[in-house]
Amino acid sequence: MALVSAKEMLENARDGHYAVPAININNLEWTKAVLSTAQAMNSPIMVAVSEGAGKYMTGYKTIVGMVKGMIEELNITVPVALHLDHGSYEGAKAALAAGFTSVMYDGSHLDLEANLAQTRDIVAIAHAQGASVEAEVGSIGGEEDGIIGSGELADPAECKTMADTGIDFLAAGIGNIHGKYPENWAGLSFETLEAIKAATGNIPLVLHGGSGIDEAQIKKAISLGVSKINVNTELQLVFAAATRDFIIAGKDLEGKNYDPRKLLAPGYDAMVATVKEKIEVFGSANKA
Ligand code: 13P
């Protein structure tokens, strides 16, 4: 199946009370783990790429080529959206020009008027080519690609103004943060999520910082209108742990285990297990 916009898959998720996983990729192993597990679980999926990961993989054109090639050669038939995560204004335009089918324009560091104006520009460009747009109000805490947010709670009135720009789905801070959650994390603010939902109506909502949030909070967030959940750190952690265990046990020194196809296999398998678990918890299995 060709790459699709995320609009329809998130509207289906909203109406069906589940969430589509948006999993950040870093290289071929990540991409293969995400696509093949989504296919095995019959789940719609968003393949997310941060600007930093985009540079690491040499650029957006390389990524579009890799993802399209893999969809064809792995016979992936579930809906796949290729999504830029936390894009800058120029980054969003470049990803769309390269063939991404969805972008997040993150103007959350700007004042609201500037964020709205830039978001409207990206919406016009994306919609002209059938791609979907996510925007953000209030910052998501934690650090990602050098952008540090303070984890504020978004203002529901600002969320409504942003939703009215014509974006397809909205990210809004509700106490979530990127990366590992600290011991003393207060948890998600469902009060804020309810107020945002009431103010914005039907637009699908996005939960960033999906790594490490317990199942009960995930399910409650979905019941209150979250239709897309971003996961990045958790795959990095399980990949690193499995690779570390393999090497500490001296297994890389056995036979031909220096071959990257063998050396990276435990980390790959750990990522597959994590993607499977997310699809189960988010309820997107068999929703393709
Ligand atoms: P985590 O790294 O905390 O899973 O967050 C991912 C994310 O929100 C990407 O935008």
The band of 98, judged by pLDDT with boundaries at 50, 70 and 90, is very high
| Beta pairing partners, 23 | 47, 231
| 178 C-alpha to ligand 1 centroid (Å) | 5
| 135 C-alpha to ligand 1 centroid (Å) | 15
CA neighbor of 226 nearest in space, from 174, 288, 180: 174
Residue with CA at minimum distance from ligand 1 atom 1: 209
In the structure, how many helices (H) and strands (E) does the chain have? 12, 10
Provide the pLDDT for residue 184: 83
Tens-place pLDDT, residues 230-283: 999 999 999 999 999 999 999 999 999 999 999 999 999 999 999 999 999 999
149 has pLDDT over 60: no
Biggest alpha carbon–alpha carbon distance for the chain: 62
Cβ < 6 Å from ligand 1: which residues? 24, 85-86, 178-179, 208-211, 230-234
* CB neighbourhood size of 250 (10 A): 9
The band of 182, judged by pLDDT with boundaries at 50, 70 and 90, is confident
**Which whole number is the average pLDDT over 158-185?**
93
Closest-lying ligand 1 atom to the alpha carbon of residue 210: 4
Question: CA 224 to CA 218: how far, in whole Å?
Answer: 10
Task: List the domains of the chain with CATH numbers.
Answer: 7-229+268-282 (3.20.20.70)
The band of 181, judged by pLDDT with boundaries at 50, 70 and 90, is confident
| 28 C-alpha to ligand 1 centroid (Å) | 19
The band of 138, judged by pLDDT with boundaries at 50, 70 and 90, is confident
Report, as residue numbers or ranges, the catalytic residues.
85
Q: Could you give the C-alpha distances from 17 to 42, 43, 149, 226, in angstroms and in order?
A: 17, 14, 29, 8
The pTM assigned to this predicted structure is: 0.96
Closest-lying ligand 1 atom to the alpha carbon of residue 233: 2
